[in-house]
Structure 1
């Protein structure tokens, strides 16, 4: 009888002890902000992309990490968010690195011509070459933030207005008023011989409808999200920005505070999701392209010789990238990044 009671007590201790350890494990509630609205079709809550990573981290950490989620540039305006992140006002930020290019331009490669041929290349180079360490190292030193991972979202093509003569050669792009989002996108439009018109995504439809622009550098999903297929009837390939990504940042002090175990949980979570994210983007773009074609949008691919002319015209954009980084004291790092990206792009 005494032996039975002893075994029961031992069993209870073995069950209760791990529970007490778990209860004593430190928990963190991190303030997350995205510059995009929660309704964004590609990087909002409907997609298994940024929100999917947040969910995975909460799940895989066993609840030790929870995110207080804010969307649409709240609680801090998007252009001020990197400074807020540096100071610890927020803990995690999903935003376009181009917003902060005036101070740190090293990650502008995420939305540039001839960057990555595939989304797989983005992740492979980030984790398995010096690329990720170079870019992350710059942000850690310059802004007290960790560049957690590149969040892939789309290629960007040239979309042509119904008012505009259809594109058949590289020369047809010259002289057009092309919508661009600023920064390297504007420089790319200039390199094509076009006139860049900086236009917010929310104003894109109206600008094309009114003839303020003849074409735009934009994503396939914008055809559906902004109903661009109502005012655009041609998409020109190959994408001028082949495979694009934004950034997911974390305050460096927060990163250190959560410790190695939870750091691994966060990185492992995105690594496990890479294939799912890429598949989602391809399937969703194919779905949208099918609908767009049914609505009369032509998807036209420039002949090979015309593509070569386009890529040659865009080469100086990379020189401008290096020059911009050099003025920020990041010339060496920019040259290294350019070499890594160029070697992979040209090898395929």
Structure 2
């Protein structure tokens, strides 16, 4: 009897040790992140690295659980979910919220405003450093941006070849935000506001004729199965989705953990450009293997499109003036234009 009692006590001690060890190894704080992209996207892999690095650097005290492909809510709901603290973090494109985030959304939605990912990186980081309105805007929505992803240039993906301005007439083209529709209308096309999760099906069913998309995202979303032509014209370039955290969740972090978040975000900024550029090179090769045809869009044809477009910068400034934010808007555009002239990018695209 004494033997059985000793065995029982011994087993209880083992279970207690295991329970204690297990609790010490598990994350004390779990932050839920809603992500608008699938896990296979190149930027998504970097977001997973960010989450893994946070867990490692905090000795498992903070765990970020990523819910891919809008598992916690549609892209349009991200801001209200985040600002209210219902979710802790979000991988969210500010261009979906031009009224609430007009400064952040500008570089995420104004077409033909940048030329390459090098400009996108420098311009956004300069905005956040030199234009106080960006911080004010985030604070007003109870959110905090940690970093922004670069997205490769959005070229024109179509079901039939497009090589001149007149080819765009009547095409149903996917758009987002306030300004992309105006660019499509200027080309006599028909803008269609379609969210990313619906892009493949709408292309497959013939609801859309074309969409601006980066080569790596054409690969990720398998758009090449529905459209076999890509025109080499940069319709949009800028910063893509940001990784945001609610102020409510940020305030719960210790100063030490906040520093780890900030330092890890800086590492992502440093890693993102090379990863993004490599993704485009690999995607171009893959798409050619899949039978996708690439077409030139001559400079004179691009000039026709640009001439038909409204002045997107001036229109944005006028909108900001109506919100009594005209001066910081003009400062933003001046900085934007200056950096676009200064920042050049090496030819990183393999056209062979």
Interval of TM-score (by shorter of Structure 1 and Structure 2)? 0.7 to 0.9
- Choose which of 76, 79, 88 in structure 2 pairs with 1:79: 76
Which of the numbers 190, 194, 198 marks the counterpart of 2:193?
Answer: 198
Taking the aligned partners of 1:250 and 1:132, their CA distance within structure 2 comes to 21
1:156 CA displacement: 1.3
TM-score by length of 2: 0.78
**Are the equivalent residues in 1 in contact too, given 2:32–2:67 (CA < 8 A)?**
yes
SS in 2 for 1:272: helix
The 5 A counterparts of 1:110-149 are 110-128=108-126, 133-134=131-132, 136-149=134-147
In the TM superposition, what is the alpha-carbon distance from 1:325 to its structure 2 partner?
A: 3.5
Partner of 1:216: 211
- 2:330 aligned with 1:332: no
Q: Which residue of 2 aligns with 1:58?
A: 55
Would the alpha carbon gap of residues 54 and 111 (structure 1) be closer, same or farther in structure 2, given more than 3 Å must change? farther
Q: Please, which of 151, 155, 158 is the counterpart of residue 157 of structure 1? A: 155
Distance 1:124 1:244, change over 3 A: closer
- 2:31 corresponds to 1:31: yes
CA distance in 1, matches of 2:127, 2:222: 39
8 Å Cα contact 2:90/2:243 also seen in 1: yes
Whole-angstrom distance in 1 between the partners of 2:221 and 2:287: 12
Aligned Cα RMSD in Å? 3.0
Q: CA deviation at 1:143?
A: 0.8
The answer to whether the aligner puts 1:243 opposite 2:238 as a matched pair is yes
Please state how far the C-alpha of 1:262 moved relative to its aligned partner.
2.8
Q: How many residues align?
A: 318
Among candidates 102, 105, 120, match of residue 102 of structure 2: 105
Instruction: Give the TM-score of the pair, scaled to structure 1.
Output: 0.78
Structure 1 runs not aligned, ≥5 long: 1-26
Gap change, CA 1:117 and 1:297, over 3 Å in 2: same
3-state SS of paired residue (2:294): strand
- 1:93 lines up with 2:90 in the alignment: yes
Counterpart for residue 269 of structure 2: 274
* Aligned-partner SS, 1:123: helix
**SS, match of residue 328 in structure 2:** helix
Shift of the alpha carbon at 1:153? 3.2
Distance 1:216 1:38 in 2: 19
Conserved 8 A contact 2:124-2:239: no
